[in-house]
Amino acid sequence: MNEPPQPEPSHGDVHVSGGSDLSQGNVPETSDAELVHRTQKGDAAAFDTLIERYKSRLYGVIFHMINNHEDAADLSQETFLKAFRNILKFRKDANFYTWLYRIGVNTTLNFIRKRKEPPLSLNQLSPETEEEPALKELTSKEGVTAATGLGELREKLNESLQKLSEEHRMVVVLHDIEGLKHQEIAKILGCTEATARSRLYYAHQQLQAWLANYL
Amino acid sequence: MNCDKARSYLPALALHGPEGSQGNQVERHLAGCPTCQAALEKTRKLQSLFSQARHQTQLEAETEILRDFVPEFHRRLASEIITRKPTIPERLRNWLLPESDGSQETSGFSVFRTPALMGFSACAAALMLIAGFVAFSSLTTSNSTGSAIVRHSSSRELPGQIASLHRGSVVEVESRWNDLVRSPGESDSIYVLDRVSYQPSKSDEAIVLQF
């Protein structure tokens, strides 16, 4: 998985769909395709613009996958370096952000799999697991009462996310946090739309159970 | 459409609205199913929590963590080492002359050390030693080609100066490069050279040029 994947053809080439805002301050209105083309011709400033355009979103995806700021920043850098090294292989009819996200997803999944403590899979959950002190605290009345700030709520959300398997977590991050559609998620993860939909459904069931007191 | 199938579409419906024929079917199901309506409401609340978390994370990232992201990208790019794959003669040499601590049979010859094949393995070993000697000898006299990233302050003078500024085992650099990176506000340029000739050594798995 070290080699970034070849992107699949896509109908669009500029913006990510969904509810997310792409604007990053003074980013020019040049299309992704044009910036990629200029980068391929040797214009490094064009790739800088692509970095500025997507660094925050890419970082968000990776952070919510691994819940660590330092590692997320490092993996984001690694993703852009891989993209830059392979920019000459990028096809004109492809979607840059789909390609970039796919590199980021693979880089992140490789990182997670190399870690010593793998995340808990949905299929591995058992009644004993649900009695874990951390999980009980997460869903307890006391936990709800104490969680008055947004920061604490976000912490609990991240804790819940980390308890999902990486495949389920990635779908939740890409859909619910990044606002991507199943079609785009399927391209990024290399699975079918039905698989992406199914993973999201089961992940939501689990998250709603864990976060019942917030819903 | 039953409840299970309808609920698998709820996250997409809550975020993007009804889409296609399936979306219409889900909406029709929801109109007559209070249980799924409640499930949709829970889905919306969950997504609302994630939306808040996302905005908070992005805000923090933009103001702190990602502030120097592009300069850091250029720094990493400039110091990057392009690792080359061992050539076929090197692979052959490594197979014939492996480094071993003596505690285990790690040699490629171990497969020949069975009574039935002892005679054959002796002949084969002799032939391979000769082949290995030839390959090893060729490595000491020929150059290999790889890639390298270099930084220099003047693009026009680079090809001429690179031969006199090289380090280590690099003996020749062709004047070709396939990418040019110029950091904003910096006079230095970074070149990604695609043909760098050099003499490989046993420990030489990577080449780097830094001026």
Give me the interface pTM, i.e. the ipTM: 0.70
Check residue B153 and give its pLDDT.
44
The nearest alpha carbon in chain B to A158 belongs to B53
On the question of pLDDT at A99 being above 60, the answer is yes
Q: How confident is the model at residue A196 (pLDDT cuts 50, 70, 90)?
A: very high
Mean pLDDT for B114-138 is 70
For B88-92, the CB contacts below 8 A with 24+ separation are B89/B135, B89/B136, B89/B138, B89/B139, B90/B139, B90/B200, B92/B131, B92/B132, B92/B135
| SS3 state of residue B188 | coil
Mean pLDDT for B162-172 is 37
Q: Is A55 on the interface with B (CB under 8 A)?
A: yes
Check residue A21 and give its pLDDT.
40
Q: How confident is the model at residue B117 (pLDDT cuts 50, 70, 90)?
A: low
Contacts of A171 in chain B (CB under 8 A): none
Q: What are phi and psi of B105, to 5 degrees?
A: -85, 95
Question: Across the interface, which of A76, A182, A215 has its CB nearest the CB of B42?
Answer: A215
Query: How far A15 CA sits from the closest chain B CA (Å)?
Result: 16
The nearest alpha carbon in chain B to A198 belongs to B8
- Say what angle helices B118-141 and B88-96 make with each other, to 10 degrees: 130
Cα–Cα separations (whole angstroms), residue B202 to B84, B87, B88, B197, B199: 13, 12, 13, 16, 10
Helix and strand counts by DSSP (H, E) for chain B: 8, 6
Digit-coded pLDDT (tens) for A126-168: 444 445 555 455 445 444 444 456 667 777 888 888 899 999 9
Mean pLDDT for A55-78 is 92
Check residue B182 and give its pLDDT.
46
Do A160 and A211 form a contact (C-beta atoms < 8 A)? yes
Check residue A75 and give its pLDDT.
95
Report residue A142 as tokens. 């006391």
Do A160 and A195 form a contact (C-beta atoms < 8 A)? no
Report residue B126 as tokens. 């002799």
Cβ pair A211:B65 closer than 8 A: no
Check residue A47 and give its pLDDT.
92
On the question of pLDDT at A177 being above 70, the answer is yes
- Say what angle helices A150-163 and B34-60 make with each other, to 10 degrees: 110
pTM given for the model: 0.59
Contacts of B38 in chain A (CB under 8 A): none
On the question of pLDDT at B76 being above 70, the answer is yes
Cβ pair A150:B66 closer than 8 A: no
Question: Across the interface, which of B46, B58, B72 has its CB nearest the CB of A208?
Answer: B46
Question: Across the interface, which of A52, A77, A181 has its CB nearest the CB of B16?
Answer: A181
Q: Is B180 on the interface with A (CB under 8 A)?
A: yes
Q: What are phi and psi of B151, to 5 degrees?
A: -120, 135
Do B73 and A44 form a contact (C-beta atoms < 8 A)? no
Of the CA atoms within 13 Å of residue A33, those in its CB half-sphere come to 12
Question: Across the interface, which of B15, B46, B65 has its CB nearest the CB of A207?
Answer: B46
Do B150 and B191 form a contact (C-beta atoms < 8 A)? yes
| Of B94 and B137, the one with more pLDDT | B94
Check residue B191 and give its pLDDT.
52
Check residue B174 and give its pLDDT.
42
On the question of pLDDT at A120 being above 50, the answer is no
Digit-coded pLDDT (tens) for B20-62: 777 788 888 988 899 999 889 989 988 888 888 777 777 777 7
Cα–Cα separations (whole angstroms), residue A142 to A139, A159, A211, B130, B186: 8, 16, 13, 77, 55
Check residue A40 and give its pLDDT.
86
Of the CA atoms within 13 Å of residue B49, those in its CB half-sphere come to 26
Check residue B85 and give its pLDDT.
56
Check residue A72 and give its pLDDT.
93
Digit-coded pLDDT (tens) for A88-97: 888 877 889 9
Check residue B80 and give its pLDDT.
64
Nearest by Cα to B177 from B153, B154, B196, B199? B196
Contacts of A172 in chain B (CB under 8 A): 50
Nearest by Cα to A146 from A75, A213, A92? A213
Check residue B170 and give its pLDDT.
42
On the question of pLDDT at A50 being above 90, the answer is yes
